[in-house]
Structure 1
Amino acid sequence: MTSTQTFSKVPSVFSFQRSMIVSAGAFFNDIAGQNDLSPLYVVRHGLRGTQNVSEAGDTAKGTKDRDVSNIQQTETALLDHRADALVVKFGLRMVDLDSALFACASGDRELAKLVRESVVDFVARAKSSDGLKEVSRRIARNVANGSFLWRNRVLAKSVSITTIFNGNTLTFNALGIPLSSFGDYSADEITLSEIIADGLRGNRDAAIEVMARVDFGVKGAVEVYPSQAYVENKPKGFARPLYKLTAEVPHANGIDHQTVMGQAALRDQKISNRLRTIDTWYDAFDIVGKPLPVEPNGASIDLMSFFRSGKSTAFSMLSRLNQIDPSSPEGMFCIGSMIRGGVYSGGSEKAEVKANAKTESTMDNEANEAQGEVS
């Protein structure tokens, strides 16, 4: 195999497991005078809203024949009325890139062997590259700027991010750190990025505790925003389910107008999505002006579009890893794609492939289970 070898296709079973471990972001109340943070709970309650449907898009006869009121069951997360701020806590650890490749199998065993070797070679080059340092710095910036707080950050008066690792503590003024640009990193951002890079190189002790303190500038039971939860076939009139870490809290139930459902949180996938929003290497960046989450086809839900096609997709790049410099824009995108994980199979083959007595479909299922939700 030469350093410039490419492959017309990748194996029919080809996947990477996620190399970024993120815990869910638990919500707490920070109340003055109390030493301990208290859990912030999601409550389910009813409300009487109004109908807000475009008459042109309404399948009914028109607004005149509709009831103005809209009775709903919904879920809300509010700060304790005594709280000074919202606190969000999660843990972050990177996994050795040597372990990123989850499955690589094909009816053409020589192809699978060569592709596997190309991945091993690329990872070895990446670990000592400036590209890995830059990817790590971008992830560190997205920790430091608190972008993982999503709407809560937008509404905040001030946001303080505290990171703890190896007995060290760094604190960042999140609102003073850019959301959409990379470079001109502070010394603390670089220090944090070195922990992330060490984890990707195989240091199992390179773990980070992250705590965000969000001050909304007003007192009282302010509404905050955990992740929304998808519920299939939700009951009629049930407006918005929210994500919570725990089941219903029995001792807190029985209130006349609401039911406490569990501790509010941001999903790990939602935090991970924001931490890997580092892709400024796609062709249209100068026009779009915002980084995208690392996705194989450059998918953006916000913009409802794909920004990568042809040779700029991860599927294409992974078939020519031997030609790619890890410090180039393509190389850094490939590193980000490996961190993201996912199934990059080249399509099914007519012949059934068996590896270790497992069928392709079984291995694909296992790969999907290992990857889970990535968005």
Structure 2
Amino acid sequence: MAKKENIIASVLAFEKKLVPSDGYFYGTNWNNRAEQTALKLIPKSVRGTISNRLKPAVAGDPMKLNAEVEKANLQTVDACALGEHQDTLKVGFTLKVLGGVENPSACNNETFLKSYHAVAQKYIENYGFTELAKRYALNIANARFLWRNRVGAEKIDVVVTVNDQEAVTFNAFDYPLHGFDHADGQVQNLANQIASALKGELPYLLIKVEAYALVGKGQEVYPSEELVLDKGKGEKSKILYQVNDVAAMHSQKLGNALRTIDTWYPEFDEKKTAIAIEPYGAVTNLGKAYRTPKDKKDFFTLFDKYALGEALENAEQEHYVMAVLVRGGVFGQSSKD
């Protein structure tokens, strides 16, 4: 009998099933949202102070420290802010939900494909993506996708339009960021439609999302920051994202927020914080992987068992595995191992 490690396809890929657009930034007023203007980036040239950690020899010598502090820290940076008479940020994007998780976009092993397809069909029959869909819906309702723009906002309304249906408005602060047990009728209705699309029962699901955050007149807002790999002697030390002169947020950043539903990783009881669905539970700003092969809680360890028909410990592990497949990616096993 062939070893299980040789049954896993060496070419295996899944297309993502939650497909957000970029998020566009507009300025408006809470009590008059009809008037909206696209927000543009504002270049600023500033003279900063030396604030980085210095070498002990410099920090311990007052003369050297004074000499270092006297140096001008000149910077040109991008910024973005509401207009003088605007108090509300609007962020708008669309989210397309696709079905077909049971069918990889690429797979070169027919035996594995048949086994995985049967397992995926069984998951759909047993759970119907209802748990995952509820969590995605809650992350739309709670405006997690606003990231830093959510902090300090006085009020946040999230207006959701599904296909051509009537728009529904959520008060973002009614829904917690790290708990997924509370789902009222509006959230459940949205979740049901997302689940139907993931199961393939709906041929088309497009969700239009518009978030309005009351942050204060003229306040700074925060589009995505561009990662510039080779800054060299570039003009700016911070470059923000824009599309056709409109400040914007990366679709990848929106997608990361929507899939921040993993409360099943080993340390959740201690952290009480949901993390994004990732194969190794990676949280880059903490420099930590919460799902390691050593603990056998990572995606690949669980997927290799699950896809070949072995039972996992509980439903939570099944939800996690399927959520990674909804995320999409390349998961083949190298034939050189």
* TM more than 0.5: yes
Distance 2:161 2:126 in 1: 26
Residue of structure 2 equivalent to 1:301: 284
Residue of structure 2 equivalent to 1:85: 88
Distance 2:172 2:330 in 1: 34
Distance 2:58 2:9 in 1: 49
Contact 1:73–1:237 (8 Å) recurs in 2: yes
Residues matched between the structures, number = 324
Instruction: Return the offset for 1:6.
Output: 8.7
Residue of structure 1 equivalent to 2:66: 64
Residue of structure 2 equivalent to 1:222: 219
Aligned to 1:318, which of 303, 308, 311?
303
Moved more, 159-168 or 64-73: 64-73
Structure 2 counterpart of 1:301, one-letter code: T
Where do 1:136-155 residues align within 5 Å?
A: 136-155=133-152
Moved more, 87-96 or 316-325: 316-325
**Equivalent residue of 2:301, what SS?**
helix
Distance 2:57 2:9 in 1: 49
Answer yes or no: is 1:276 the counterpart of 2:263. Answer: no
Structure 2 counterpart of 1:346, one-letter code: Q
CA deviation profile, 1:274-306 (whole Å, cap 9, x unmatched):
110111111111112111101011111233211
Contact 1:42–1:76 (8 Å) recurs in 2: yes
CA deviation profile, 1:336-360 (whole Å, cap 9, x unmatched):
001111111211449xxxxxxxxxx
Distance 1:170 1:57 in 2: 58
Instruction: Return the offset for 1:316.
Output: 1.6
**Equivalent residue of 2:137, what SS?**
helix
Contact 1:161–1:171 (8 Å) recurs in 2: yes
**CA 1:270–1:58: 2 relative to 1, 3 Å:** farther
Aligned to 1:122, which of 116, 119, 122?
119
Sequence identity, in percent? 28
Answer yes or no: is 1:20 the counterpart of 2:56. Answer: no
**CA 1:12–1:30: 2 relative to 1, 3 Å:** same
Q: TM-score, normalised by structure 1?
A: 0.80
Structure 2 counterpart of 1:296, one-letter code: P
Residue of structure 2 equivalent to 1:252: none
Unaligned runs of 5+ in 1: 106-111, 247-261, 351-375
Distance 2:47 2:113 in 1: 59
**Equivalent residue of 2:242, what SS?**
coil
Residue of structure 2 equivalent to 1:250: none
Structure 2 counterpart of 1:51, one-letter code: I
**Equivalent residue of 1:37, what SS?**
strand
Instruction: Return the offset for 1:56.
Output: 3.1
Residue of structure 2 equivalent to 1:211: 210
**CA 1:117–1:51: 2 relative to 1, 3 Å:** same
Answer yes or no: is 1:342 the counterpart of 2:329. Answer: yes
**Equivalent residue of 1:208, what SS?**
strand
Contact 1:42–1:242 (8 Å) recurs in 2: yes
Distance 2:304 2:224 in 1: 36
Answer yes or no: is 1:104 the counterpart of 2:91. Answer: no
CA deviation profile, 1:153-193 (whole Å, cap 9, x unmatched):
01211111010114122111101210011112111111111
Residue of structure 1 equivalent to 2:98: 95
Q: TM-score, normalised by structure 2?
A: 0.89
Unaligned runs of 5+ in 2: none
Distance 1:139 1:232 in 2: 32
Distance 2:271 2:33 in 1: 46
